[in-house]
């Protein structure tokens, strides 16, 4: 079964979503990521969605959930590289993901993570 | 009415009709000598009468939708369009055709002594001129509508520029009322530019937005939320005192967004967040924007969360 790879980079975890998200994949990612945070004691999670072209309310909610779960495990989540069309869709769906921090690209996201986690 | 003598009367007396039509047009109060010279009017009247005479003699005098009237219709459409552009009123444009009635009637009267024929031909002429007049008015309306639609589109494009103020700082001066369609255009333009320029701060300046109601505020907040999702912060500037009062009275929640009174203030905030400072030429006195701000503080200031 296909999985989204989770890479460890120092104190942070890097998740790059390069395939079309479907619901089971999203749930699998949620599972894997929380396990990895607990195992590694990571202080931050960076999710790169620059290749994601389509979102629905489920995927939107999943992003919000992942951020909430990570913060329970004491890791900050930064979502980077959201496309304009995806951003407009999420806003029109009424999901502005208030608990998620965002950045333009991976580089800025890493800076942000480094800054907020001290 | 099939054997109407109207075409014959028009053809035989074209010159007389033209001269009496011209004089009634020139006497009429709706003639706009400031917009149209007598020479042009004469030329237009002559061409129209010639086209009408040809069309009417090809059969079906009152069938102005028939192919034989194609030239007359084209002529009137062009005339209405040019009058609309020149700024004639609909009444003034329609009078061009309606003033033909009197000239036609007097020629019909001269051509016959039979009361029955006179009444029939007069009726035929009335119906014909009315139809042509209404067609002209319709065409006039249509060209005005096209003008309005084109201007609306131009306004839409003109009024949503995205300006780069500095590397990483975009400004979006909004002019005019924000409706759903414009918000969509504004949002798409802004997000696209954020991606292209890699900007982290966007300033929405609403100095040019005349009124802010709940709908406009909601549209603004949507734009801010979409930009934030992409990782760019928005600052709303140009809030006039009256608008600040309205926003509070309406109970619109703007606390999640940084707001500033002027674009200059917003720009200062943006510079500070990017840890940039403005100094004067000698480099001695720092400008007010240079309040010490560590980069980490700047990042931590991000709204939302």
DSSP-assigned beta bridge partners for residue A101: A78
- What confidence tier does B292 reach under pLDDT thresholds 50, 70, 90? very low
Taking only the tens place, the pLDDT of each residue in B81-117 is 888 888 888 888 888 888 888 888 888 888 888 888 8
> Residue A1: what pLDDT?
67
| Mean predicted lDDT score pLDDT of chain A | 90
Residue A1 domain-assigned (yes or no): no
Percent of chain B with pLDDT over 90: 20
Taking only the tens place, the pLDDT of each residue in B253-274 is 888 899 999 999 999 999 999 9
In this structure, what CATH number is given to the domain that contains residue B106? 1.10.490.130
Query: For residue B277, what are the contacts with CB-CB under 8 A and spacing of at least 6?
Result: B271, B286, B287, B289, B290
Taking only the tens place, the pLDDT of each residue in B205-214 is 999 888 888 8
Answer yes or no: are the C-beta atoms of A59 and A26 closer than 8 Å. yes
- What confidence tier does B3 reach under pLDDT thresholds 50, 70, 90? low
- What confidence tier does B290 reach under pLDDT thresholds 50, 70, 90? very low
Cβ-defined contact of A102 to B229 (cutoff 8 Å):
yes
In this structure, what CATH number is given to the domain that contains residue B243? 3.30.750.24
Interface of A with B in 46-85 (CB under 8 A): 79-84
Cβ-defined contact of B229 to A115 (cutoff 8 Å):
no
Taking only the tens place, the pLDDT of each residue in B171-196 is 999 888 888 788 888 888 899 999 99
In this structure, what CATH number is given to the domain that contains residue A59? 3.30.750.24
Residue A19 domain-assigned (yes or no): yes
Residue B156 domain-assigned (yes or no): no
Residue B1 domain-assigned (yes or no): no
Tell whether B47 and B145 lie within a shared domain. Answer: yes
Query: For residue B56, what are the contacts with CB-CB under 8 A and spacing of at least 6?
Result: B6, B7, B10, B11, B128
Taking only the tens place, the pLDDT of each residue in B214-261 is 888 888 889 999 999 999 999 999 998 988 898 888 888 888 899 999
Assess whether pLDDT exceeds 70 at residue B303.
no
Q: Which of A32, A78, A107 is nearest to B305 (CA)?
A: A78
pTM value? 0.65
Residue B157 domain-assigned (yes or no): no
Domain limits for position A51: 6-116
Q: End-to-end distance of chain A based on CA atoms, in angstroms?
A: 37
| Mean predicted lDDT score pLDDT of chain B | 83
Angle between helical axes of B214-230 and A84-92 (0-180°, round to 10): 140
**Chain A interface disruption, residue of B197, B231, B256, B302, most A CBs within 10 A:** B231
> Residue B302: what pLDDT?
37
Domain limits for position B36: 6-151
Ordered strands of the A101-103 beta sheet: A6-9, A12-16, A44-48, A76-80, A101-103
Cβ-defined contact of B231 to A104 (cutoff 8 Å):
yes
And the tokens for B217? Answer: 């505020």
Rg (CA), chain B: 33
- What confidence tier does B301 reach under pLDDT thresholds 50, 70, 90? very low
Domain tally for chain A?
1
How would you classify the pairing of strands B163-166 and A101-103?
Answer: unpaired
Assess whether pLDDT exceeds 80 at residue B158.
no
- Any alpha helices (H) in chain A, and if so which ranges? 23-40, 57-72, 84-92, 106-116
Residue B158 domain-assigned (yes or no): no
Residue B300: list chain A partners with CB under 8 A.
Answer: 115-116
Tell whether B220 and B262 lie within a shared domain. Answer: yes
Q: b/e per residue, A3-31, with b = 16+ CB within 10 A?
A: ebebeeeeebbbbbbeeebeeebbeebee
Cβ-defined contact of A88 to B188 (cutoff 8 Å):
yes
> Residue B59: what pLDDT?
67
And the tokens for A42? Answer: 């990571």
> Residue A21: what pLDDT?
83
A103 in reach of chain B (CB within 8 A): yes
Closest CB to A108: pick one of B188, B200, B227.
B200
Residue of B nearest to A96 (CA): B225
Among B151, B173, B203, give the residue marking a domain's end.
Answer: B151
> What is the rounded distance in angstroms from the CA atom of residue B294 to the CA atom of residue B300?
10
Tell whether B18 and B82 lie within a shared domain. Answer: yes
Question: What CA dihedral angle connects B237, B238, B242 and B246, to 10 degrees?
Answer: -30
Percent of chain A with pLDDT over 70: 99
Could you tell me which residue, B153 or B290, shows the higher pLDDT?
B153
Residue A48 domain-assigned (yes or no): yes
Query: For residue B175, what are the contacts with CB-CB under 8 A and spacing of at least 6?
Result: B159, B208, B209
Cβ-defined contact of A84 to B222 (cutoff 8 Å):
no
* A/B interface, count of CB pairs below 8 Å: 71
């Amino acid at each position: 079964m296909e999985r989204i790879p989770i890479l460890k980079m120092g104190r942070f975890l890097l998740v790059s979503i390069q395939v079309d998200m479907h619901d089971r994949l999203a749930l699998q990612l949620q599972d894997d990521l929380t396990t990895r945070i607990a195992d590694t004691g990571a202080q931050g999670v960076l999710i790169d969605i620059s290749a994601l072209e389509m979102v629905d309310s489920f995927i939107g909610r999943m992003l919000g959930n992942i951020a909430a779960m990570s913060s329970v495990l004491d890791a900050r989540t930064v979502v980077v590289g959201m496309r304009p069309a995806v951003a407009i869709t999420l806003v029109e769906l009424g999901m502005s993901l208030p608990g998620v921090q965002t950045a333009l690209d991976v580089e800025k996201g890493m800076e942000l993570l480094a800054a907020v986690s001290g | 009415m099939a054997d109407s003598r109207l075409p014959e009367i028009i053809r035989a007396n074209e010159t007389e009709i033209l001269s009496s039509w011209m004089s009634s047009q020139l006497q009429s109060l709706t003639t706009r000598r400031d917009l149209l010279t007598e020479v042009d009017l004469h030329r237009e009247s002559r061409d129209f009468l010639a086209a009408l005479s040809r069309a009417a003699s090809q059969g079906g005098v009152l069938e102005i939708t028939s192919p034989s009237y194609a030239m007359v219709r084209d002529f009137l459409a062009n005339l209405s369009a040019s009058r609309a552009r020149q700024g004639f009123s609909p009444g003034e444009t329609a009078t061009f055709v309606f003033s033909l009635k009197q000239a036609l009637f007097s020629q019909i009267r001269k051509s016959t002594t039979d009361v029955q024929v006179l009444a029939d031909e007069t009726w035929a002429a009335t119906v014909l001129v009315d139809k042509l007049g209404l067609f002209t008015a319709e065409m006039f309306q249509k060209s005005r509508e096209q003008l309005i639609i084109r201007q609306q589109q131009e306004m839409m494009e003109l009024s949503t520029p995205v300006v780069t103020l500095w590397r990483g700082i975009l400004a979006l001066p909004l002019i005019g009322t924000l409706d759903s369609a414009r918000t969509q255009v504004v949002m798409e333009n802004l997000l696209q530019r954020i991606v292209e320029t890699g900007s982290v701060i966007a300033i929405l300046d609403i100095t040019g937005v005349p009124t802010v109601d709940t709908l406009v505020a909601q549209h603004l907040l949507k734009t801010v939320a979409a930009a934030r999702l992409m990782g760019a912060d928005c600052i709303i500037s140009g809030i006039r005192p009256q608008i600040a009062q309205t926003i509070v009275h309406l109970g619109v929640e703007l606390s999640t967004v940084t707001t500033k009174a002027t674009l200059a203030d917003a720009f200062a905030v943006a510079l500070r967040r990017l840890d940039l400072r403005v100094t004067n030429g000698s480099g001695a006195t720092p400008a007010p924007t240079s309040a010490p701000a560590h980069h980490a503080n700047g990042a931590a200031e991000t709204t939302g969360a």
